Amino acid sequence: MTKDEYIASLRALKRRVFILGERVENVVDHPLIRPSLNACAMTYELAQQPEYADLMRATSNLTGQTINRFTHLHQSTADLVAKVKMQRVLGQKTGCCFQRCVGMDAFNALDSVTCEMDRALGTKYHARFRAYLRDVQMRDLVVDGAMTDPKGDRRLSPSQQADPDLFVHIVERKSDGIVVRGAKLHQTGALNSHEIIVMPTQSLAEPDKDYAASFAIPADAPGIVMIVGRQPADTRKLESGQRDVGNREFGGHEAVIVLDNVFVPWDRVFMAGEHAFSGMLVERFAGYHRQSYGGCKTGVGDVLIGAAQSLAQYQGTDKASHVKDKIVEMIHLNETLYACGIACSIEGKPTASGTYLIDLLLANVTKLNVTRFPYEIARLAQDIAGGLLVTLPSEKDFANSEVGAVLEKYLRGVADYTTADRCRMLRLLENLTLGPGAAAYLTESLHGAGSPQAQRIMLARLADLETKTRLAKRLAGIGD
């Protein structure tokens, strides 16, 4: 699809959406949602530009047709590397989350897991999933990957909860499909998606088999309600001015998705009770998504480094040695994130279905670094920006006939640059580290694709400490 075709396709959806306590019919043009739509639309716009063709497009192994890479099954380590490079470019172009990564990561995890599940259990999910994905590829759809459940009392398993709906589960099995109920939280880009793929949120045991469910549903299927979450300073997008918004064109959103007795036909069901494979699906999806952060967060990091360097120039501090050192440290941290994303891609291996899986150990290293480094990059950027980052008067004050000229005079930095440019750059940096952009760059870095402890658990499991101790004993001359 083209960008315009994508936007038109969203207008055709009839969804139940609530924003700031009100039912909203025209989601596409809502000022709180449109910046996130613009960011997602960039995945279509760049795919039409020849200079980005190698990154944004791929040849489908299912149809042989040229498709958007966001709907592709990785067929080589080159595909895995191209994914990370594509995500960095999109992060640079938008300065925010562009929302299609979760669906792409869900496709690749489901492809290998359904294949191995069929081989072990004699089920028929793999062909069913690939038929679904062919349709997604041919229509170039945005698919929201929904994994995170509310979870309720974290001490209890899904089936032990006081309210059974705190994890999405199957409530009825029919001859033609299943009925599901529950909710998914933190759904990035939900309102910009055509489809939703639901996955279990954790490893499950036999008593929780009704919670081992994966399926695809249209975003406007009966029984679905979407409730948009708040972000810091989000109502600035409702103001008529431009200077205070920070990122003028792009942004993000998250939503609670409620599934109220939603019917799913069998041809859209990819797991229905096979609890033994829930952990594999979660682990592989998380691995792919942790790889993703080595691309998207470095792209946004590039923007943040550029904002800090620009402010140093506007303020006349760019030649100071301590500022140069801070900029170099920001670059070092950012490129380390990218290096890890590339490394786990290069070390990828084919699964039984032929789809390539990243190196899970290195993918978890990538994400664990992402839980830390963006916070330090943001701290250094705020250090360089100075206190005006949080004391800058509003755009309305600059437009006021009595005090506007005074502000223009006293908030000017280096004479070669305008006060307006300095203010716009301060607002962009504020957006990325304190405002709506911080939801994607910082909080998402910490909790998206699993909080830090989830990566530590995987590192402990995958690091093969026994082999490392044998290496040390051999060199130390210690026998078995």
Catalytic residue list:
97, 101, 188, 254, 289, 293, 296, 444
- Vertex 250: Cα angle to 249 and 255 (nearest 5): 135
Report whether 91 contacts 303 (CB < 8 A): yes
Contacts of 373 (CB under 8 A, 6+ apart): 333, 334, 336, 337
Report the phi/psi class of residue 263: left, alpha or beta, with left for phi > 0 and alpha for psi in -120 to 50: beta
Contacts of 293 (CB under 8 A, 6+ apart): 337, 341, 366, 367, 370, 445, 448, 449
Query: Can you give the three-state secondary structure of the chain, one letter per residue?
Result: CCHHHHHHHHHCCCCEEEECCEEECCCCCCCCCHHHHHHHHHHHHHHHCHHHHHHHEEECCCCCCEEEHHHCCCCCHHHHHHHHHHHHHHHHHHCCCCCCHHHHHHHHHHHHHHHHHHHHHCCCHHHHHHHHHHHHHHHCCCEEEECCCCCCCCCCCHHHCCCHHHCCEEEEECCCEEEEEEEEEEEECHHHCCEEEECCCCCCCHHHHHHCEEEEEECCCCCEEEEECCCCCHHHHHCCCCCCCCCCCCCCCEEEEEEEEEEEEHHHEEEECCHHHHHHHHHHHHHHHHHHHHHHHHHHHHHHHHHHHHHHHHHCCCCCHHHHHHHHHHHHHHHHHHHHHHHHHHCCEECCCCCEECCHHHHHHHHHHHCCHHHHHHHHHHHHHCCHHHHCCCHHHHHCCCCHHHHHHHCCCCCCCCHHHHHHHHHHHHHHHCCHHHHHHHHHHHHCCCCHHHHHHHHHHHCCHHHHHHHHHHHHCCCC
